[in-house]
Structure 1
Amino acid sequence: MKTICKIHIPGRMTLGLEFPLDNDWSLEGEKKRKKQGRPFGIPDISRHTELIQLADKLGFAALWMREVPVYDPNFGDGAQVFDTLSYLGYVAAITKSIAIGTAAVVLPLHDPLQLAKAIATIENLSESRYLFGVGLGDRPVEFPLFGFDFENRADRFVLNHEIIKEAWKDESELHHFFGKTSNGIEIYPKPKNEIPWILAGRAKQSMDWIAQNMQGWFNYPRDVKDTEILVREWKNALYDNNQASKPYISAFHLNLLKDPDAPFTPHRFGGAVGINGLASLMRLYELAGVNHMALHLRKSEIPVDEALKLIAEKVLPHFDAADFKNQSTYQEE
């Protein structure tokens, strides 16, 4: 595969960020949210352009965006507010080198032909900086709203994957899926380079299927020990299916504390730590086999812009982030 994104150097770990770039889950952020009258889970995106461009300038490897189609107060999660695909086009236009990924597009909720066109458009406009992270979807309330059956979503996931891959071919044969009336039909634009598929979770698929059909596996935040077990499972699946090295990706909910020497205290999906202990903590995940880590800053005690600058100064150099400036973002052996 032609190198197209800069998150994977086998045996190493790169660092990225997860949207939204706010710290609403900190004590100060919660006070601000209530004062502004925003519902829980609707982030403060007033500085999003500034923070996106700062992350790009500082040398973070990737920005990851989730898709949450509707706001359900029972979940209290509005993701990054903006429509994922439209927002990706904007992010591509205001950045230069950072990879932009989805973690994840809810694949069974989309029309596959419309999605094939939208994703190829983003890939073209971003100069092949896009990572196509997809997921199954786990919120039953969403599926009937879009006219789909929640229970059949795993089958629809596989079908949409097959249709999109076919639509991206130079001479696609969509009639295999849509019958004779689709003879000669093409979806444009075609991707400039092969778009890497990244699976978030398992999508009710076997590890063999994931290894054969995905170019990376994005797993939910876990402690180092559990992460190491999943990395081994991923590597074994790749080996058993004669696949080359492909990245294991995860996320970490980071409460970056104001005390630079504060020791690490774990919490659900991550933990709290001072900046002087963060590099050592991330090194443990690198040794466990994580190839790319997306930092989630919603709990950060330090404001996001300050946190980004501190991480860039104190942590990124330990992971040779500067070495990736002139490399493409996805490498597969």
Structure 2
Amino acid sequence: MLETTAMPRSFCRAFSENRLSVGLITPLEAYPDSPFPTLKDHQTVAKQAEDAGFGSIWLRDVPFYDPNFGDAAQMLDPFVYAGYLSAVTSTITLGTTGVVLPLREPVSVAKQALSVDRLTEGRFLLGLSTGDRPVEYPAFNIDFEDRGARYREAVEVIRTLSENRFPRAETMRFGTFSGNLDMHPKPVHGRLPIMAVGRSRQPIEWLARNVDAWIWAVDDDAAIREILAALKSAAGDGTPPAYGYSSFFDLDPNPEAPYQRFYNVVRIGRKALTERLLQHRDLGVRHVALNLKPSRRSAQSVIEEMGAHVLPALEAA
């Protein structure tokens, strides 16, 4: 794990000790009745989120539209989109939730991630997943059952190329590195933060020792306690990864509205939301990533209200 003194600002803005930050998952708009967003004014909304005090913008990796899944995400390739957003923002962390690593060649992923890291001057966080759409695997001619092992080996390749000079390494599924090639650019802050998204087919023990952060969809109080205890135990003498969760989100226009859950959608007013986030901060949650797809209000309206009330309350508490 990254030591505290070595944490780049991309990591610290999203994951800091004794603090909970809030991020937004792209696309930055409400589109409850369609699988496809409009991407209208998305650059303006990204800047609005940054100015409002959100800690991060998370870009999804969805290669194909699957009608059975019903959501095409932001449609744009996450690395291309991150490069674009790097030019219209200046401080907010940009990250991926997450690049479907078993479907990608890790040398290219390393190059793309390091390029965005340089373009953003060190405010990029590489989130990696195994995806949630099995139907995509045959299109890439990748064995679905091998995704867990492929993920672990690909993470090691990315670490090797980004953190070493002229590395020597042999891999089972990918290439051989003979010490005669070196990848550039190197990470702006010496190390590229890597985050697991979902379980990624990995045991807790592997996650605790191989990633810097972990975002899952588990936000139940009792489950959070169990997760954090398991990570701490599995990390041994090391620092466990920072934990956060993601949620489909609908900010109720009534500030007094209580917490409600409709399958995987959280609907809540700002006062109950602030209390819930502070409670989770005290449990040890470090980041919450919100997906506005099911929102009944515009993204701009939600961002404005949270920037005026919720985010300042988190900073002040």
Task: Name the TM-score, length of structure 1 as normaliser.
Answer: 0.86
Equivalence for 1:185: 181
2:239 pairs with 1:244: yes
The CA deviation string for residues 264-298 of structure 1, in whole angstroms up to 9 with x for no partner, is 22222342122233211222222332111112222
Structure 1 residues 121-132: aligned runs within 5 Å = 121-132=115-126
Picking from 172, 184, 189, the partner of 2:166 is 172
Equivalence for 1:229: 226
Instruction: Give the alignment's Cα RMSD to 1 decimal.
Output: 1.9
2:200 pairs with 1:196: no
Matched residue count: 306
How far is the alpha carbon of 1:158 from its aligned partner? Answer: 1.3
2:289 pairs with 1:285: no
- Contact kept, 8 Å, 1:63 with 1:100, in 2: the verdict is yes
Structure 2 Cα separation of the partners of residues 168 and 263 of structure 1: 46
Equivalence for 1:98: 92
- Contact kept, 8 Å, 1:221 with 1:270, in 2: the verdict is no
Structure 1 Cα separation of the partners of residues 28 and 100 of structure 2: 21
Matched letter for residue 206 of structure 1: P
Equivalence for 2:78: 84
2:25 pairs with 1:18: yes
In 2 relative to 1, CA 280–155 (structure 1 residues): closer, same or farther, beyond 3 Å? same
Gaps of 5+ in 1: 31-39, 324-333
Structure 1 residues 1-333: aligned runs within 5 Å = 1=3, 2-4=6-8, 5=10, 6-25=13-32, 30=33, 40-177=34-171, 178-179=175-176, 182-193=178-189, 194-238=191-235, 241-320=236-315
Structure 1 moving runs of 4+ over 4 Å: none
Specify which structure has the higher proportion of strand.
2
Structure 1 Cα separation of the partners of residues 26 and 225 of structure 2: 25
Q: Which has the higher contact order (CA 8 A, sep 6+)?
A: 1
- Contact kept, 8 Å, 2:147 with 2:201, in 1: the verdict is no
The CA deviation string for residues 205-226 of structure 1, in whole angstroms up to 9 with x for no partner, is 2212111110011111433333
- Contact kept, 8 Å, 2:165 with 2:183, in 1: the verdict is no
- Contact kept, 8 Å, 1:217 with 1:249, in 2: the verdict is yes
In 2 relative to 1, CA 183–244 (structure 1 residues): closer, same or farther, beyond 3 Å? closer
Identical-residue share of aligned pairs (%): 30
- Is the partner of 1:119 in helix, strand or coil? helix
In 2 relative to 1, CA 245–165 (structure 1 residues): closer, same or farther, beyond 3 Å? closer
Task: Name the TM-score, length of structure 2 as normaliser.
Answer: 0.90
Structure 2 Cα separation of the partners of residues 176 and 99 of structure 1: 33
Structure 1 Cα separation of the partners of residues 166 and 137 of structure 2: 29
Structure 2 Cα separation of the partners of residues 311 and 267 of structure 1: 21
Q: Please say which of residues 99-108 and 228-237 is displaced more in the overlay.
A: 228-237
Equivalence for 1:331: none
Gaps of 5+ in 2: none
- Contact kept, 8 Å, 1:8 with 1:292, in 2: the verdict is yes
Q: Please say which of residues 267-276 and 302-311 is displaced more in the overlay.
A: 267-276
